[in-house]
Amino acid sequence: MNIVLIGYMGSGKSHISKALSQKINKSAIDLDDYIEAKEEKTIAEIFSTKGEIYFRKKESEYLKECLKTQENAIISLGGGTPCFGNNLAIIKDATNTITIYLNTTVGGLTKRLILEKSKRPLIAHLESETALEDFIRKHLFERSYYYNQADHNIKTDNKNIEEITEEIISLL
């Protein structure tokens, strides 16, 4: 069975997938890392040289590829992946796949993302913590429709990686 982790950027999908993979002996695939390897560019470089539309098309293509070729893996998606095109339907239609939404509050996301703003193309231009918080609030509102269609919803605020991975394991 594949486990697909979804949630907003900064919700811990990559960290949780790595920790979970060690606990339950599944490979961890970060879709953003997969895209970077295939495209031989960072996500930021793809956004700046080819634009978001190009990125979203490639993201969908590589998502299909991962779901088709991977078995028994933990796949962490980019924050926007389930919200574009028909990606959510692709995920939901994949056989032997469950989705888990790592649900983090606006405040929690703001605290995490303010520290790594320059590495995130969608928020790098925001100049203040208030602007970042407003951006996250708006995006989370728009994306929650997609995130809430996951098979399971795990609240991550005030939990460490160990607690979150144990909660995921209890759902399997």
pLDDT digits (tens, 9 = 90+) for 26-82: 999 999 999 999 999 998 899 889 998 999 999 999 999 999 888 889 999 999 999
Tokens read off for 89: 């339907």
The residue extents of the domains of the chain are 2-165
158 Cβ neighbours under 8 A, 6+ residues apart: none
pLDDT at 143 over 90: yes
How is domain 2-165 classified at the CATH fold level? Rossmann fold (3.40.50)
Length of the chain equals 172
Q: Are strands 152-155 and 73-76 parallel, antiparallel or unpaired?
A: unpaired
Fill in the amino acid letter for 171.
L
Give how far Cα 141 sits from Cα of 24, 49, 51, 105, 117, Å.
33, 28, 24, 11, 20
- pLDDT at position 94: 93
- pLDDT at position 124: 86
Helix (H/G/I), strand (E/B), else coil: 123? coil
pTM, full prediction: 0.93
Cβ atoms within 10 Å of 46's Cβ, excluding its own: 21
Q: What is the mean pLDDT of residues 117-139?
A: 90
